[in-house]
């Protein structure tokens, strides 16, 4: 059926929010294209966008992020790496508790993989990036193998919940199927898609269009996970499965220790609602969110909101006072996430100025040279202040935090590959093996999850003179 007139109700909504330009090209569209545009427009919550803009304006006048940051303190509920390393008994006790949680089937894993990965500039979902320094295996494969190995170690299935977005979903599903879920039981894998948010013109507040019948949209941030878990039914699945804790990680860090039993054990023993792994910042200038307490509440401050005098302040020993860099590795209690949902808590939107290609009034595509649009994203760490009990756990940076963010330089494939080699080399040498010169070595999680596994499998004195992948 031909749709020749703009439905009255739609026109009224557009008038109300001053977004009439969204139907400029209506007359030039086929009825199919009109239907698609209508569906898109119906899915947009204009009031929510308006409110996000208003909240942002209000917060700048009340208290700036910088003035808030000026009151921040280092986290107090804290486990420092050096303390744990010296306390063998505590290590053993927490590890045992974590392994028991896994064995009892109380732990699920969440991977957020819906980001667009613009900085990396890879033409596929980031998880498909070949990061294995010898094997060339993808980030997805390395992460899946960790879950498989950990579940073999625990003797129980560990369900894997993977968040995708419109930008990554179809390719991710096809990739998993093509690779037979990397050997994992497909029934233990749940994919759920996050929502999207339209981008707006930074000057006029008008929603940008990517085509005459399409809105310029992007994923709504990793914090979109909260809504997406409920909307998709994944959360109900977690509850039905009797899960109590969720190990959360991001697709860009292949050296994360998925379901680290020590972290899980600490989370349980301290009765924490959210436990976060942090690493010591390398310098005051490092562009990394920091975990702090403000007015006795735990929160993460983005690097761009941390004034340089606060960032560079040192303690009596000369160490950075605000030192705890966020790795985006968390453990959430299922009960905590349920409480947030039941209380109807929505995470705030963060607004970012970005270059957003759009079509102009003549229907021509414009590729802006500088940021022209505002994108709206929710951040998962904004749940932190809601926790009645939160714990911070310091990780070994070299071993566990090597994200792939940029195409080159810091936090790039090169640094992540070097880290995987470094860990494999350390483990082999600790087991008494000899790794020649600069020979690259790589260990699949299916071969070993830690040094102890390597020691069981590698004879002291074994020589590695050629690039080697152990699996
Ligand atoms: P980043 O903040 O690094 O964003 O995501 P990104 O989209 O991957 O990369 P850039 O900024 O465009 O270069 C951190 C983690 O959060 C996930 C990403 O997939 C990554 O695991 N993420 C991010 C989502 O799942 N959804 C989003 O909307 C944004």
Phi then psi for residue 294, to 5 deg, are: -125, 125
CATH topology of domain 64-405: Spore Coat Polysaccharide Biosynthesis Protein SpsA; Chain A (3.90.550)
Q: Which of 114, 115, 125 to mutate to test the pocket of ligand 1 (most atoms within 8 A of CB)?
A: 115
- Tokens matching residue 2: 């031909």
Position 61 scores a pLDDT of 56
Question: Would the CB of 298 count as within 6 Å of ligand 1?
Answer: no
Alpha-carbon span 14 to 62, nearest angstrom: 31
- Give per-10-residue mean pLDDT for the chain (471 aa): 78 95 93 92 93 77 78 94 92 97 98 96 97 98 98 98 98 98 98 97 96 95 98 98 98 98 98 98 96 94 92 95 98 98 94 94 93 97 96 97 97 98 98 97 98 98 98 96
Nearest protein Cα to ligand 1, atom 28: 221
For residue 120, CA distances in Å to 50, 416, 469 come to: 31, 13, 26
251 lines ligand 1 (CB under 6 A): yes
Can you tell me which atom of ligand 1 is nearest the CA of 221?
28
The response to whether residue 112 sits with its C-beta less than 6 Å from ligand 1 reads yes
CB 404 within 8 A of CB 139: yes
User: Is any ligand 1 atom within 6 A of the Cβ of residue 252?
Assistant: yes
Specify whether the CB–CB gap between 95 and 147 falls below 8 A. Answer: no
User: What is the CA(249)–ligand 1 centre distance, in A?
Assistant: 11
* Token pair 């040279």 in the structure block, residue: 369
H/E element, 410: none
What's the confidence (pLDDT) of residue 3? 66
For 299, the enclosing helix (H) or strand (E) is strand 297-301
Per-residue confidence (pLDDT) for residue 330, from 0 to 100? 98
Locate 289 and state its tokens.
């969110």
Ligand 1 atom 18: residue of nearest CA: 115
**Cα→Cα distances 155→149, 183, 184, 345, Å:** 10, 16, 14, 36
Nearest to 189 by CA among 172, 201, 171, 167: 172
Distance between CA atoms of residues 99 and 182, nearest Å: 23
Question: Which atom, in ligand 1's list, is nearest to the CA of 164?
Answer: 25
Please work out whether the CB of residue 37 comes within 6 Å of at least one atom of ligand 1. no
C-alpha distance from residue 22 to each of 33, 215, 375, 400 (Å): 13, 8, 17, 46
Q: How far apart are CA 33 and CA 423, in angstroms?
A: 53
**Residue limits of CATH 3.90.550.10 in the chain:** 64-405
- For residue 222, the CA-to-ligand 1 centroid distance in Å is 7
Position 344 scores a pLDDT of 95
Ligand 1 center from residue 252 Cα (angstroms): 8
Q: How far is the CA of 115 from the centre of ligand 1 (A)?
A: 4
pTM of the predicted protein model: 0.96
350 lines ligand 1 (CB under 6 A): no
Atom number in ligand 1 closest to CA 220: 28
163 CB near ligand 1 (under 6 Å): yes
Ligand 1 atom nearest to 249, measured from its CA? 21
48: phi then psi, degrees, rounded to nearest 5: -65, -40
Q: Is 119 in the pocket of ligand 1 (CB under 6 A)?
A: yes
């Amino acid at each position: 059926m031909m749709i020749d007139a703009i439905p009255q109700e739609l026109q009224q909504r557009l008038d109300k929010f001053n977004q009439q330009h969204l139907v400029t090209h209506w007359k030039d569209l086929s009825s199919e294209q009109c239907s698609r545009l209508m569906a898109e427009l119906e899915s947009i919550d204009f009031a929510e966008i308006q409110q996000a803009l208003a909240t942002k304006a209000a917060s700048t006048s009340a208290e700036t992020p910088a003035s808030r940051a000026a009151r921040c303190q280092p986290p107090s509920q804290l486990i420092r790496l050096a303390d744990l390393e010296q306390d063998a008994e505590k290590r053993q006790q927490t590890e045992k508790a974590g392994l028991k949680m896994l064995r009892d089937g109380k732990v699920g894993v969440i991977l957020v993989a819906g980001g667009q990965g613009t900085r990396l500039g890879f033409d596929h979902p980031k998880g498909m990036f070949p990061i294995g320094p010898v094997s060339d295996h993808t980030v997805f494969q390395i992460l899946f193998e960790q879950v498989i190995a950990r579940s073999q170690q625990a003797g129980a299935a560990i369900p894997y919940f993977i968040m995708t977005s419109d930008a990554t979903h179809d390719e991710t599903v096809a990739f998993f199927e093509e690779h037979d879920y990397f050997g994992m039981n497909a029934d233990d894998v749940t994919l759920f898609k996050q929502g999207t948010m339209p981008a707006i013109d930074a000057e006029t507040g008008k929603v940008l269009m990517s085509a005459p019948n399409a809105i310029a949209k992007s994923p709504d941030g990793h914090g979109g996970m909260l809504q997406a878990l409920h909307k998709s039914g994944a959360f109900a699945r977690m509850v039905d499965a009797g899960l109590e804790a969720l190990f959360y990680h991001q697709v860009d860090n292949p050296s994360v220790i998925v379901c680290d039993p020590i972290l899980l054990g600490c989370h349980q023993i301290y009765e924490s609602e959210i436990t976060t792994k942090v690493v010591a910042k390398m310098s005051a200038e490092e562009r990394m969110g920091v975990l702090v307490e403000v007015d006795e509440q735990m929160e993460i401050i983005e690097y761009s909101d941390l004034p340089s005098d606060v960032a560079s302040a040192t303690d009596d020993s000369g160490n950075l006072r605000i030192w705890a860099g966020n790795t985006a590795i968390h453990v959430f209690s299922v009960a905590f996430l349920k409480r947030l949902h039941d209380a109807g808590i929505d995470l705030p939107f963060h607004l970012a100025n970005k270059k957003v290609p759009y079509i102009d009034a003549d229907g021509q595509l414009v590729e802006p040279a500088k940021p022209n649009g505002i994108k709206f994203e929710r951040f998962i760490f904004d749940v932190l202040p809601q926790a009645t009990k939160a714990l911070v756990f310091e990780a070994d940076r070299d071993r566990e935090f090597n994200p792939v963010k940029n195409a080159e330089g810091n936090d790039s494939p090169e640094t992540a590959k070097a880290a995987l080699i470094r860990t494999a080399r350390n483990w082999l040498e600790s087991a008494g093996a000899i790794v020649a010169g600069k020979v690259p070595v790589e260990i699949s999680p299916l071969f070993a999850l830690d040094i102890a596994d390597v020691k069981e499998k590698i004879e002291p004195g074994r020589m590695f003179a050629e690039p080697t992948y152990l699996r």
